[in-house]
Structure 1
Amino acid sequence: MDSLFNIVQSILNMGASVMLPIIIFIVGMVFRVPVKKAIISGITVGIGMIGINLVINLLTTSVGPAAQAMVERFGLNLTIIDAGWPAVAAGTWAQPIAAVMIPVVLIVNLIMLALNKTKTLNIDIWNYWHISSVAATGFIVTKSFIFGIICGIAYTIFVQIMSDVTAPKVQEYYGLEGVALSTGSAQGYALLAMPVGWLIDKIPGINKLDVKPETIQKRFGIFGEPMIMGIIIGIFLGLLGGYDISGILQIGMTMGGVMFLMPRMVKILMEGLIPIQESAQKLLQGRYGDREIYLGMDAALATGSPAALATGLLMVPITLFLAVILPGNRVLPFGDLATIPFFAALVVPSRKGNILHSVLSLTVVMAVALLMATDYAPVLTEMAQGIVEFPKGAAEITNLDTGGNFSKWVFYKLSQLVASLL
């Protein structure tokens, strides 16, 4: 087990920019892509991921301090701290069951592909931690290794199904041909937000309000440009954080830069994926007729959309406001505020890019997410104990990515039920 754990950690420590080129090359060889083209595709995808990570880092290092400034300015005092996904991911990989889950996820995925029960080949190995976190939850709550593995397998099947179901809209709206977004956080939020969005679309008056980047640009000219939208949203966050004029303008320009650069980074990554996807389709059609295959990728690809980014950034102050007024909530949102655009990844396509409807849908879901994250805190605190340095003043930690994720919370409650019967 120690040897397997060390191997897994070595792979993960290389990071997505190294892992993805290797994986893309291997997948290319499987789908009979010429060696030269497979190498170029892998390197291109890796470079695209480096670019995406640079822009995401720019986003998080700007939104994080702004969120902290809002917390301090408005005197929020809640005892459970949202430590963010990195803390929970670290706590997850430290569990003995986590190392086992990588081969388990791959095997389940390949079996489902062979039996034609899924169209998605999930190559986003780094984000297998979402599945491992469910397995770790089952293990921690029930003390049963076997039950933890069962939870992980069941969640893998859920991820595959959600990837298949949401892929057509993802491809249509984002222009990501042959791609499915297989990130557990995006799927968990979409599971609640999509039906909520459907209901919102039935409300007279609201269903007529079409707030897309395209319609904003059509009606308001330059203010509908993605970079200008980013600047406006950044200025809004700076004002809420009580920044001085210099700070407000800096965060405004930074958000404008994020809005401008992210689509270009995603485009680079997609240039590398297209030859793999085309070869996969050609090979499968030769063997199975019209059968499709999707490459399961990180929800970070969705942040190339101005609507997804705008929705996520607008949800930052809304989430903080909900934390203050929501009865029963004990979570102080912080670490995962900058990752809310990822939560919006599958919501925005379901609302056809309507920012208003996406924000309304996520507002309802985020209220539920805060209560779930409050409930989930004891397990996530135990998971991270001794692995993660707790934020100052935190009695417990949780996060929005896992603790506020409806699909993961269901497995948490199921684990509690099984534990009570053992």
Structure 2
Amino acid sequence: MEVFQTVINYVLNLGSAIFVPLIILILGLLAGMKFKKAFMSALTLGIAFSGMSMVIGYMSNAVSPASEALAKNTGISLPALDLGWTGAASITWSWSYAFIFFAVTIGVNFVLLLFNWTKTLNVDMWNVWGKALTAYLVYYVSGSLAAGFLTAMVQVILELKLGDMFQKHIQDLTGIPLVTVTHFMTSAAVLLLPFNMIMDKIPALNKRADTNALKKKIGIFSENSVMGFIIGLGLGFAAAYGVSGSLNLAIQTATALSLFPMISKMFMQSLSPLADAMSEFMKKRFKDREVYIGLDWPILAGRSEIWVTAILLVPVFIGYAIILPGNQVLPLAGIINYSIAVGGLLLTGGNLARMLILGILTMPIYLYGATYLAPILSDLAEKSGAVEGIKKGQLITWSSIEGPEFRILFAEAFNRNILAIVGCVIFLGLFVLLYKYMIKAKVPSERYAELQK
């Protein structure tokens, strides 16, 4: 067991830019690709992930200090320290059972593929820690380790079905065939669905409002660089950066938003040959079957709607943290809420107006989810010593925790909370409704009427 854990830790330390391309290389060879072509596909994917990670880090390093300054200007002090997803991941990996969820993830995926209950092959093993976090949360609340593992298995199934339902939309948004996203942040669409269905009835919100469509209406102001500059400038002034600091932040955000689409093209360049090879492989051996390759969310990061939404919602996130009764979290490391942005992108087909409205309506749930998580994550961190330099008794959390309603409802349901059991039934019902909604929905490029000039 210790040897297996050592191997897993070694693989994790390689990083996603090496680990995921290695899996892609193996898949390519198994699908019949020549080594040279499979190697170049894997290498290009590694470069794409590494490049996207660098730009996301660059963006976060620029926006997060401004967000912190904006928060400090409010004068508010809240007890739970936001360490973001990186802090949550490092703490989760310190749990002695965490590495077992590689086997859980692979095993459940294998069974569903075997019985043709999913078309998605999840190769995003880097985010296995998310299943471990869910299991620990349920275990902590209910006292049942079995309940924790069962809930994690449910999460794996949901991720695969999310991959199935969103695949055609992701292909339309990215241009990459037979690729999908299996990251649990896409489950935000379940929470957003009822509000989006209401907006389906509002004519003004049923026109194309992605950045490409907006170019016809607002011209230069819809360019990635200009949008980034304006948003960064506004955030800088809101954070009291002054003229010089605000202009620097404006250039930084403009740079990031300009680079995202450039790097995203490398995902298409690397994954299209693999998709073709996998398609031919399946046609030869399994008639009338397709397999989608499930990857991490950065394959969508070239869509500027994600970044416009996430950054514009920063002041909203801070505002909610100040006014919501019972909230204990001031968003810092997790201030950029990717869940709402990515889930909103897929659900609405990139409709910026809808994405912003959905974010404003649902952000409080993330703060309350982070407040709920704080004592649980803090307890694990204290027991394992995973976080250094934290004072005893200090609460730590993750302000933009993915799927907070799923994790909390199942934890409380296994704790025999009747309302939570009802909530689980409602959540799963909404998930089924979302599946039917997305399978029926037109792809983003065909969904809305063109904006009038």
Q: TM-score, normalised by structure 1?
A: 0.93
Q: 2:362: which partner in 1? A: 365
Q: Is the 8 A contact 1:402 1:408 kept in 2?
A: no
Query: Quick one: which amino acid aligns to residue 301 of structure 1?
Result: I
Q: 1:89: which partner in 2? A: 89
Q: 1:146: which partner in 2? A: 146
Q: Of 273, 290, 293, which residue of structure 2 is paired with 1:292?
A: 290
Pair 1:258–1:244, CA change in 2 (3 A): same
Q: 1:330 is paired with a residue of what secondary structure?
A: coil
Q: Is the 8 A contact 1:97 1:148 kept in 2?
A: no
Alpha-carbon distance, 1:182 to partner: 0.8
**Alignment map for 1:113-262 (pairs within 5 Å):** 113-184=113-184, 186-203=185-202, 206-207=204-205, 211-262=209-260
Pair 1:25–1:264, CA change in 2 (3 A): same
Alpha-carbon distance, 1:209 to partner: 6.6
Q: Which deviates more, 320-329 or 394-403? A: 394-403
Alpha-carbon distance, 1:287 to partner: 2.8
Alpha-carbon distance, 1:393 to partner: 11
Q: 2:97 is paired with a residue of what secondary structure?
A: helix
- Inter-partner Cα distance in structure 2 for 1:126 and 1:217: 37
Alpha-carbon distance, 1:392 to partner: 7.5
Q: 1:121 is paired with a residue of what secondary structure?
A: strand
Identity %: 30
- Inter-partner Cα distance in structure 2 for 1:409 and 1:166: 24
Query: Quick one: which amino acid aligns to residue 125 of structure 1?
Result: M
Q: Is the 8 A contact 2:142 2:412 kept in 1?
A: no
Query: Quick one: which amino acid aligns to residue 399 of structure 1?
Result: W
Pair 1:384–1:402, CA change in 2 (3 A): farther
Pair 1:320–1:210, CA change in 2 (3 A): farther
Q: TM-score, normalised by structure 2?
A: 0.87
Pair 1:168–1:392, CA change in 2 (3 A): farther
Q: 2:410 is paired with a residue of what secondary structure?
A: helix
Q: Which deviates more, 352-361 or 365-374? A: 365-374
Q: Which deviates more, 257-266 or 343-352? A: 343-352
Q: 1:402: which partner in 2? A: 401
The number of residue pairs the alignment matches comes to: 418
* 1:306-364 Cα distance to aligned partner (Å, 9 max, x none): 111111111111111111122332221111113x2354113113212211110111221
How much is the aligned-residue C-alpha RMSD, in angstroms? 2.3
**Alignment map for 1:255-334 (pairs within 5 Å):** 255-334=253-332
**Alignment map for 1:20-39 (pairs within 5 Å):** 20-39=20-39
Q: 1:332 is paired with a residue of what secondary structure?
A: coil
Query: Quick one: which amino acid aligns to residue 59 of structure 2?
Result: L
Pair 1:252–1:121, CA change in 2 (3 A): same
* 1:157-205 Cα distance to aligned partner (Å, 9 max, x none): 1111111112222222232321111111x2232221233222233246x
- Inter-partner Cα distance in structure 1 for 2:207 and 2:216: 14
- Inter-partner Cα distance in structure 1 for 2:391 and 2:171: 43
Q: Is the 8 A contact 1:313 1:341 kept in 2?
A: no
- Inter-partner Cα distance in structure 2 for 1:417 and 1:401: 26
Query: Quick one: which amino acid aligns to residue 369 of structure 2?
Result: M
Q: 1:81 is paired with a residue of what secondary structure?
A: strand
1:349 is aligned to 2:346: yes
Gaps in structure 1 of 5+ consecutive residues:
none
Q: 2:290 is paired with a residue of what secondary structure?
A: coil
Alpha-carbon distance, 1:208 to partner: 5.3
Q: 1:295 is paired with a residue of what secondary structure?
A: strand
- Inter-partner Cα distance in structure 1 for 2:174 and 2:193: 17
- Inter-partner Cα distance in structure 2 for 1:161 and 1:393: 41
Query: Quick one: which amino acid aligns to residue 200 of structure 2?
Result: D
Q: Of 381, 385, 388, which residue of structure 2 is paired with 1:384?
A: 381
- Inter-partner Cα distance in structure 1 for 2:12 and 2:395: 27
Query: Quick one: which amino acid aligns to residue 79 of structure 1?
Result: P
Pair 1:56–1:84, CA change in 2 (3 A): same
Q: Is the 8 A contact 1:303 1:341 kept in 2?
A: no
Q: 1:61: which partner in 2? A: 61
- Inter-partner Cα distance in structure 2 for 1:413 and 1:203: 36
Gaps in structure 2 of 5+ consecutive residues:
421-453
- Inter-partner Cα distance in structure 1 for 2:38 and 2:28: 5
Alpha-carbon distance, 1:121 to partner: 0.8
Q: Is the 8 A contact 1:226 1:259 kept in 2?
A: yes
* 1:347-396 Cα distance to aligned partner (Å, 9 max, x none): 11321221111011122121122122222222122222221247689842
Q: 2:209 is paired with a residue of what secondary structure?
A: coil
Pair 1:114–1:10, CA change in 2 (3 A): same
- Inter-partner Cα distance in structure 1 for 2:253 and 2:59: 7
Q: Is the 8 A contact 1:191 1:406 kept in 2?
A: no
- Inter-partner Cα distance in structure 1 for 2:75 and 2:209: 33
- Inter-partner Cα distance in structure 2 for 1:408 and 1:180: 23
Q: 2:293 is paired with a residue of what secondary structure?
A: strand
- Inter-partner Cα distance in structure 1 for 2:137 and 2:4: 20
Q: 2:54 is paired with a residue of what secondary structure?
A: helix
- Inter-partner Cα distance in structure 1 for 2:377 and 2:275: 37
